[in-house]
Amino acid sequence: MKKCRITVIRKACYLDLMEQYENPMENACDVKEGQVFISNGWEKPEGLCTSAWETMSPFVMALSHGAENFYDGWMKNPRSVMLSCNDGFRPVSFLIEALEKEAEPDGADIPESRLSL
């Protein structure tokens, strides 16, 4: 199983929609454009939004297992996918790419701070 790189490509913010429909939020998305997360293929990387992970995890799992050419080859790199989270007020676009490096099946990829949980 391959690792996957998840890169924040673009953040949008629709203030008009927020003003009209959204209750104020204290903790809006805090990812930064260019920020990179590495997934072992099955676990949400630390610091990545849970909602975004729920959207992308099927693609991460598929890429980590060698899937290619999503939606009849819409990506120039067949081992990648571009998608957005489900936040209609502040959508974030992510580029997900399969890496050559294999994920460690014995948990060696899991940060030590997470092993004691």
The string of pLDDT tens digits covering residues 56-103 is 999 999 999 999 999 898 999 999 999 999 999 999 999 999 999 887
In a domain, 52, yes or no: yes
Banded pLDDT at 114 (limits 50, 70, 90):
very low
106 falls in which pLDDT band (50, 70, 90)? low
> Is 32 inside any structural domain?
yes
Check residue 116 and give its pLDDT: 34
pTM of the model: 0.84
The per-residue pLDDT for 107 is: 53
pLDDT at residue 104, rounded to an integer: 75
In a domain, 97, yes or no: yes
Residues in the chain: 117
Phi, psi of 62 (to 5 degrees): -65, -45
Average pLDDT over residues 38-44: 96
Domain contains 112:
no
Q: Is the distance from CB of 79 to CB of 65 less than 8 angstroms?
A: no
Q: What is the DSSP letter of 109?
A: T
**Domain span including residue 8:** 2-103
Beta bridge partners of 82: 95
How many other CB atoms are found less than 10 A from the CB of residue 64? 21
Q: How far apart are CA 62 and CA 56, in angstroms?
A: 10
* Residue 27 contacts residue 90 (beta carbons within 8 Å): no
- Tally of domains in the chain: 1
Mean pLDDT of 9-36: 89
SS3 track for 83-104: EECCCCCCCEEEEEEEEEEECC
Q: Residue 17 falls within a domain, yes or no?
A: yes
Tell whether the model's pLDDT for residue 30 goes beyond 60.
Answer: yes
